[in-house]
Structure 1
């Protein structure tokens, strides 16, 4: 049986806490997962980092992670461990919220976001270099205000490159049933963390009688490989399409 290295209890533990050290570390790590320190779907820091963070041995961290795995709160694959708690991911202030421009400025607007594993529209397949009828991860988004005055829909297809390079996106394949809510707000952050430089190109056209506009967004990386294509349709009769970009200062 694995043996926990005896160390002083973490500072956050009460003196009468009689749980084993790895149990207390599991509880502290769970608190950080719940408060969004590690957002849902994100990879956890490595064992060495966690050991230094909590002031314990790597063996103790390993045992704590096993406790969380048995509880279904953490999953581990060849890329490392990641949080599986439900919830809304935490956004960095400088991040671009995916899909860009899809959310109404009305604070009462309600959005719905799901993913499917299906063949994308033919124009998407062509843009992503997919063979006809080959399935991929497709994101469906709808935002509407209670009075119906603002409606936005977005359909995004991800490329095989994006799914191969970005572990957080690839994990959604197992949840791509078209019914389970799927918040991909931090998709662009995940891509950047995977080492991909993102180039966005938006084309805006009128739809029908010009009461709506369509934004077709194509995103590729520094090697000109397609990552995703999005079709965003906005009811422009009473709504305003606003893009807001924040770029961090150099250095």
Structure 2
């Protein structure tokens, strides 16, 4: 009898693609890219991020869900790793720096669905002439000094990802009061990690200071841009940001 030696089978990766995606996603959950308790981006966004199909993402999420690392409710999937909830850092009141330290005579805010300034449109990646949600804010101290104005334009990403902001579109007529104090909390609850970049400059021949704030998420997508003008004759500009300590 002639003994034959079978050929070695071709090498295959013992770990299916969906498990590798689950491991990568778990790494991002652990390093804080998605804060504990925050909602994960949708399957389509995750598929683009990991460059796989939505079905692969769905299988990866199911692996983490079975291991108790994700919780799913009607709002989507949430990171369930041990750690402080996403709401635990001190909230940043929107728009940051626009409210005066002294008692106010009554701040005023409104939203409009309109074409933003060319500078805002370019920063948000909006096509020329495309409207978006624009928020205007005015604040002053009781004696009328310390006037602060802020104009914020939100990106298409922010309106698509943050349900609370999207609801304002149908009532954004420019006249109704619209205090968006919790806008940054809404963004974080939608699973977005917020990166703030402020550029501060003094306006020539005035006592005013201009602050241009740009906020993007963990995927470098723009979320909003704010133009803040502050009468700085008496006020100091103070910005306080709180970040969770690494686990």
TM-score exceeds 0.5: yes
Are 2:159 and 1:187 equivalent residues in the alignment?
no
Q: Which residue does the alignment assign to 1:119? A: 115
In structure 2, distance between residues paired with 1:184 and 1:92: 19
Are 2:127 and 1:131 equivalent residues in the alignment?
yes
Q: Which residue does the alignment assign to 2:140? A: 144
Return closer, same or farther for 1:141/1:94 CA change in 2, 3 Å cut-off.
Answer: same
| 209, 226, 233: which one aligns with 1:230 | 226
Q: Which residue does the alignment assign to 1:241? A: 237
Q: Which residue does the alignment assign to 2:174? A: 178
Aligned length: 164
In structure 1, distance between residues paired with 2:239 and 2:106: 19
* TM-score, normalised relative to structure 2: 0.63
In structure 1, distance between residues paired with 2:227 and 2:192: 22
Runs of 5+ in structure 2 lacking a partner? 1-73, 77-86
Are 2:194 and 1:216 equivalent residues in the alignment?
no
In structure 2, distance between residues paired with 1:108 and 1:203: 26
Runs of 5+ in structure 1 lacking a partner? 1-77, 81-90
Distance apart, 1:107 and its partner CA: 2.0
Distance apart, 1:96 and its partner CA: 0.7
Contact 2:207 2:233 in 1 (8 A): yes
